[in-house]
A and B are shown apart, each in its own frame.
Chain A
C-alpha cells in the first residue's frame, strides 16, 4: 500500500513536471509573443541557406549587375540598400569574392548618403577583407551585422520610417530569386518557402504606420497596393502547396517592385 502511494505521488510530480514543460502554448500567449525585426525576420543569408538546400541552384547564374540609381529620395536609397544586401548574400552563396566586394562597396556608398555611422564604414572594410580571404561563413554574419548597424544609424537619425523600404528591398529580391527557381523546377512542397504571411503583414503594417507625408509618397502607395495583392496567396498556410499560377503572381509582384528600385522614382 505504502509503495503504491509513493508511486502515485511520484507519478503526480513527474506528470506535473512533464506537462508543465511540454504543454502547448495557449492562443493568448502566441498572440502576445514578442516580434522583433532584428530577430523575428529571417536574414537573407538564412533564407538563401534554405533555398540552397531545396533547389541547389547555380548561384553564380543568379548574380546580376546592379548599378545603384542616383536618387534624391531617402526612401529610394533605403530600398536599393535592401536589394543590394540580398544581392550581396547571393554573391556569398556563389562564393564570388569580387562580386561580394562590389556589392559591399555599393551598399556602403548608398549608406553614406544616409549619413550612417562609422560602425557601418568599418563593417564595409571587414566585408572586403573577408571576401578576399573567402571566409564565407563569417561574411554572412558580418553582412547581417552591417544591416543591423545601418538600421541603428537610421534609428539614431530619426529615420526609423526608412527601415521599411530597406526591409522591402531585401525581402522582394529574396522572394524573386526563390520564385524564379520554383518556376524553373516546380516542386509542390517547395512553395512553402514562398508563403510568409507574417513577414508580408509586418511590412504592410509598417507601410500603413508611416507618417502621412511618407505614406502619400507614390513609391509607398505602389508598394502598399502591390503587397496587399499578395495577401490572399499567403493566407492558406505553408502546408498547402501554392499553385504555379500563384507563384507566377508573386514573382510578377516582386519583379515590379524591383523595377521600381532600379528606376528613377516619380516626382511626388
Chain B
C-alpha cells in the first residue's frame, strides 16, 4: 500500500513537472539608455569579480521586468573551450533570481549555480560550439527589474 502510494506520488510529480514549463515572457527591448541603471551596474559589478580570473565582460546586456512564473529565455551562440559566466541582478528586496543554461536541444546543462538575495551567477564550459539558452526566472517575489550580462575567457 505504502509502496504503491509512493510510486503514485513520484509519477504524479514527474507528470506535473513536465507540464510546469512556464510560458515565455516578452521582455522589454534592449534599453541602451540604461547603462547607469542600478540592475545593470549591479550585474556588471558581479561580473567584474571574475575579471581577476581573466574574464572579459561583454558590453551587450538583457534588461527587462521579470515576473514570477514568466521567465525570460535568451538565445546565444557559445564556443567550446571558452568559459562563460552569466550574472543577473535586480534591486528589489525579497526577490530571488535563478539563471539556468540549456543546450541546443533544450536540455539543462551540467552547470554551476549560485544565488543570493538579488543576484545569481552561473557558469559553463560548453561541450560544443552551438546555440545555448539562458533562462532567467524569479523564484521569489512577484516582479523585478532585472539585468543580465555575461563574461568569457
Which residues in A have some Cβ–Cβ distance to B below 8 Å? 1, 4-5, 7-9, 11-13, 15-16, 18-30, 32-43, 45-47, 49-50, 53-54, 137-138, 140-141, 144-145, 147-148, 152, 155, 192-193, 195-196, 198-199, 237-239
Contact = CB atoms under 8 A, between A and B. Distances in A.
Contacts of A20: 17, 20
Contacts of B61: 38-39
Nearest to B5: A8
A193 to B, nearest CB: 6
Contacts, number: 168
Chain A: interface secondary structure?
helix
A238 B76 contact: no
A126 B74 CA distance: 31
A12 B10 contact: yes
A46 B27 contact: no
B108 A22 contact: yes
Contact of B5 (A5, A42, A199): A5
A141 B76 CA distance: 18
Q: Which of B13, B98, B107 has the most CB of A within 10 A?
A: B13
Contacts of B9: 8-9, 11-12
Interface string B1-40: 0100110011011101110110010010010100000000
B82 A50 contact: yes
A152 B30 CA distance: 11
Given A29-B24, A46-B152, A38 B59 contact: yes
A122 B97 CA distance: 35
B20 A43 contact: no
Contact of A35 (B17, B75, B100): B75
Return the 5 tightest CB-CB contacts between A and B, nearest first. A19-B17, A38-B60, A25-B106, A50-B79, A15-B13
Given A40-B75, A145-B59, A19 B81 contact: no
Interface string B48-62: 000100101111111
B43 to A, nearest CB: 12
B6 A11 contact: yes
Contact of B62 (A22, A39, A49): A39
Given A15-B10, A23-B18, A41 B129 contact: no
Contacts of B6: 4, 7-8, 11
Contacts of A145: 59
A4 to B, nearest CB: 4
B51 A137 contact: yes
A38 B31 CA distance: 11
Contacts of B112: none
B21 A25 contact: yes
